Amino acid sequence: MKSESYREDYQPVEAKTAAPVAVATTTTVATEKKPVTAAQKSEPKQQVAAQSTAAKAKSQPQPAPATAQQAESSKVVKIVPPSKKQAEQDYRFGYTIQVVAVGSQDKVTQFADKLPKGTQPVWQNYKVVNGTKWYTLLYGDFASKVKAEQAIQTLPKEFQDLKPFVRSIDKIKKSDYPTLSKLN
């Protein structure tokens, strides 16, 4: 037996980013003009020249320190699991109906097309149990378990014969690797 399958060789493209640009800041020095006295006129011109070069150095733009940007980008971020308090706050109230569990994506689509169209959402949840791939079809978002059980009675007979049952949305979301995807 020979299988012909297509496999695309994918090679990721590395994005190159430019180094951050240091922004130069300019400062202006306000100078006051004072009347020149006779004693100041007799000062050596070298001292006056030294003062003028110091004033020019103060008025020239100084580059901003890039060390703050470098230190900020080199910070290590530690990923930690949520605390008990955070996990309790992440609780998702509500119940849904697991209509069917099948082994292929195509069958999920076939069953989803037969469900009543209307106000209730339809989800697909993919999971692997004991090495077997399962696609579960979930129907509705109900406030209580009782309302979800009542909704089972409103499903077409074909679905009622499959023995659908109520599941907590929170338990689905907190299961190992939940992959809920909305179908409608």
Which tens digit of pLDDT belongs to each residue from 35-57?
555 555 545 555 545 455 545 54
DSSP lists the bridge partners of residue 97 as: 139, 166
Amino acid at the residue 92: R
Residue linked to tokens 């949305």 = 169
Separation of alpha carbons 163 and 100, rounded Å: 8
Tens digits of residue pLDDT in 138-167: 999 998 999 999 999 989 899 899 999 999
Structure-model confidence comparison of residues 20 and 111, the more confident one: 111
> b/e string for 126-155 if b means 16 or more Cβ within 10 A?
ebeeeeeeebbbbbbbbeeeeebeebbeeb
Res 23: pLDDT: 56
Going from the N-terminus, what domains does the chain have, and what CATH number goes with each? 93-182 (3.30.70.1070)
Sign, CA dihedral 154-157-160-162, equals negative
pTM: 0.49
